[in-house]
Amino acid sequence: MPRRIASGDGKPRPATIKDVARHAGVSVATVSRILSGTYPNAPATRSKVMRAVRELDYVPNAHARGLAGVRPKSVAIVVNSVISPHYAHVAQGVHEEAARAGRLCIVGTTGGDLERELAAIQLMREEHAEAVILVGNINPDEAYRERMAGYARALAAAGSQLVLCGRPPLGPDVPAIVVEYDNTGGAFAATSHLLSAGHKRILFLGRRFGYTTPESRVAGYRAALAAHGVPHDPGLEVDGARMVRREGYRMMRERLDARPRDFTAVFAINDLIAAGAREALRERGLRIPEDVSMVGFDDLPPAADIDLTTVYIPHEELGRTAVRLALKSETPGASEHVLLGTHIVVRDSVCPNVGEASGPD
Amino acid sequence: MPRRIASGDGKPRPATIKDVARHAGVSVATVSRILSGTYPNAPATRSKVMRAVRELDYVPNAHARGLAGVRPKSVAIVVNSVISPHYAHVAQGVHEEAARAGRLCIVGTTGGDLERELAAIQLMREEHAEAVILVGNINPDEAYRERMAGYARALAAAGSQLVLCGRPPLGPDVPAIVVEYDNTGGAFAATSHLLSAGHKRILFLGRRFGYTTPESRVAGYRAALAAHGVPHDPGLEVDGARMVRREGYRMMRERLDARPRDFTAVFAINDLIAAGAREALRERGLRIPEDVSMVGFDDLPPAADIDLTTVYIPHEELGRTAVRLALKSETPGASEHVLLGTHIVVRDSVCPNVGEASGPD
DNA sequence: AGCACATGTTGAACCGTTTACACAGGGCGC
DNA sequence: GCGCCCTGTGTAAACGGTTCAACATGTGCT
């Protein structure tokens, strides 16, 4: 039965190491050493102390320990949102690996707002976490680079390892571990898959300038067209804003409203966009894959539900790798660059193209 | 240009409040008071200090502050998994409200394992977070109650407010804020919806004994049958293990393998189960809603994709309310009980039943 | 001129832990 | 019997903030 120490005014307060020391009849140093387990100690003393710990229900104070120079057992992660499946899966990987190493996770969300991201990092500097993992797509303009580089150096000075996850390096002189996945290769494979089925008019849905992830995927799309000797029509690249289902619906619907259909296949920049576009096509009586072929990107839950052929990203592996590398590096401020592979997952959303090279109708 | 203090060996180290004080030519007490903003101070001093803070890129050390008796600005949350949509949405609500209040979130995951949950709480006690929010379904046996009650009191003693989110109270004498949603009412509404369409043989998919959430939903199902004067057939309640898609598929598939179909409608305990069951039905050539009507529970992403009528749970509101109530209560150890409403969301998965009362065939 | 009083600032104690350093006592070789 | 190492323990000084009590300084009142 744990008994709580009563302070002067009768309110219970958590037991401290001093209480344990008094209870066990030893000094605080002895208690500390026995609990840390890294110093020689006599079995008799040890059992006395452990009993006191149990009886008083003592847990060490993380703040005091942190102050005393022990790096806190925590990993910080900054994501756009925790309900966006990609971020959630990366976060899951981070949590798994962190839990395995006995670490807690400190999570900050940004809603895609750069200022909120920087504010979160600032708060995390105060926490002195072992690692600060920034995940996801970003618009890396010059001002951002400047500020983030400063934060990177500040984190290194505070002893925290910065990790960029699915985001390009900040520059050669900025200390950070970078864990990326192969966007361009995945987009190349997806586009090639459609091209091999005979499609030549492939709509790219969700282009977005300035953001690294969409740009890499567009690059893969174009490279595949070039490799197959299919002419590139910029008119087939549709710009999108947010990477959500509704936006996919909007893009496809507006496209179909604006002009006759001039494509036989769609490469959606991610599965959510694909799901939205699919809905807009269905409203027009167009079915997948009979009338229109489609490939997505991400291989997240909606893909399986709608039988979508898509590109698999090792979401959780990204998170796990980020934590592993960060905890491995002794000296914060390490630099490293890892690229994880992607691959295509074939389901039932692509049919051979039997129509005209320039499209149906 | 922030300049970092160089320690003896040349390595940069983060600036401390002493550095700021020296740089500004005042005492540390003055710096502390100006930064906390709660004491009177002269404008001239203030600007001197603020300039020093900027120039040295000073951020306060959360551990030191925590040690000095200021409650850390953080909220802890324990969930089953961060990729399970329900938990993710609740967590999103927690994050939103926490971010609004300038708090970081400390997240622990359990994978549904009670020991890991208790271990996470133990770690969180060390952190002295303002609130510890436990979310989700649980199997509250007596041993669990005992231990959790002990933890609740320990948290209260440490000044942290315990919040149970979507989980029943631990007992009258255990200090905790409880935020639940109306499982029974939602299940009643869903079942009534099917009954009103003329269905009398309604399969309940995903019963699970001992767990609070499934039990409340079964209770709502039975109450609706009783209210409509429809006899209750225990043979229509199918037991499930985990609340995932695969399990829904398994249950429906085994049911259809085992005996002729003796139901015209399905009430799935959640949307994931519904999605899996739908797949198994489709493999048998049974379509929704033409051949079988179906209602789910949760109103999470898969539901919209498969046009599923379902019961809406205020996931994010649960998280927001938990944080709001926890931060509101001055004295940790407050007790409160809130019940949030649910309502049915009608999509396209229910048809009027035109067959026999006892089912088709 | 003397006093009360508000305003700003400071020195120092304190929070709970780790750890460098000092030291006690026992076994051992000389 | 003496010095030595070895093992285990204690003392006290950090760590970086907050805050209480004390103290200057300036202002208005008698």
Q: What is the pLDDT of residues B77-130, one digit of tens each?
A: 999 999 988 999 999 999 999 999 989 999 999 988 888 999 999 999 999 999
pLDDT (average), residues A3-31: 84
Can A74-182+315-341 and A183-313 be said to share one CATH topology?
A: yes
Instruction: Tell me what the pLDDT averaged over chain B comes to.
Output: 91
Q: The whole model's pTM is what?
A: 0.90
With b meaning 16 or more CB within 10 Å and e meaning fewer, what string describes A164-179?
Answer: bbbbeebeeebbbbbb
**Closest nucleotide to A65, Cα to C1':** C17
pLDDT band at B344, cuts 50/70/90? very high
Indicate the fold that domain A74-182+315-341 takes in CATH: Rossmann fold (3.40.50)
Q: Is the dihedral of CA B28, B30, B34, B37 positive or negative?
A: positive
pLDDT (average), residues B32-61: 91
Q: Report in angstroms the alpha-carbon separations of A31 from A23, B10, B257.
A: 11, 35, 63
Q: Is the pLDDT of residue A360 over 70?
A: no
Top-tier CATH class for A5-60:
mainly alpha
**Which of B102, B100, B82 lies closest to B91 in space, CA to CA?**
B82
Residue numbers in A near B13 (CB within 8 A): 157
**pLDDT tens digits, A171-206:** 888 889 999 999 999 999 999 999 999 999 999 999
pLDDT of residue A305: 79
- Cis check: omega of the bond before A352, within 30 degrees of 0: no
Query: From the centroid of its chain, how far is CA B320?
Result: 10
Question: How do B336-340 and B293-295 pair as beta strands?
Answer: unpaired
| Nearest residue of A to residue B107, measured between CA atoms | A105
pLDDT of residue A335: 87
Task: State the nearest Cα–Cα gap between A229 and chain B, in angstroms.
Answer: 36
Q: Judge whether residue B38 contacts strand C, using its CB and a 7 Å cut-off.
A: no
> Which residues lie closer than 8 Å to B20 by C-beta, 6 or more apart?
B28, B31, B49, B52, B53, B56, B58
**Closest nucleotide to B29, Cα to C1':** C10
Asked if B89 reaches chain A (Cβ–Cβ under 8 Å), the answer is yes
> Which nucleotides of chain C are near protein (any atom < 7 Å from a CB)?
7-12, 14-20
**Backbone phi, then psi, for A201, in 5-degree steps?**
-105, 95
Question: How do A202-207 and A177-181 pair as beta strands?
Answer: unpaired
Task: State the nearest Cα–Cα gap between B245 and chain A, in angstroms.
Answer: 10
Query: From the centroid of its chain, how far is CA A100?
Result: 18
Per the CB < 8 A criterion, the answer to whether A148 and A159 are in contact is no
Indicate the fold that domain B74-181+315-340 takes in CATH: Rossmann fold (3.40.50)
Indicate the fold that domain A183-313 takes in CATH: Rossmann fold (3.40.50)
Q: Is the pLDDT of residue A8 over 70?
A: no
Q: Three-state DSSP class for A13?
A: strand
Contact B63 A83 (CB under 8 A): no
Q: Which residue is nearest to nucleotide D20 (CA to C1')?
A: B29
**pLDDT tens digits, B129-182:** 999 999 987 777 888 888 899 999 999 988 899 999 999 888 888 889 999 999
**pLDDT tens digits, A318-355:** 999 999 999 987 777 788 999 999 999 999 999 999 76
Specify the higher pLDDT residue, B146 or B238: B238
pLDDT of residue B304: 85
- With tokens 């489709």, the residue in question is B282
pLDDT of residue B355: 62
Residue spans of the domains in chain A: they are 5-60, 74-182+315-341, 183-313
pLDDT (average), residues A285-291: 95
pLDDT band at B74, cuts 50/70/90? very high
**Which of B185, B168, B136, B166 lies closest to B342 in space, CA to CA?**
B185
pLDDT band at A39, cuts 50/70/90? confident
Q: Judge whether residue A42 contacts strand C, using its CB and a 7 Å cut-off.
A: no
And the tokens for B259? Answer: 């005996």
> Which residues lie closer than 8 Å to B199 by C-beta, 6 or more apart?
B264, B265, B293, B353
Q: Is the pLDDT of residue A228 over 60?
A: yes
pLDDT band at B358, cuts 50/70/90? very low
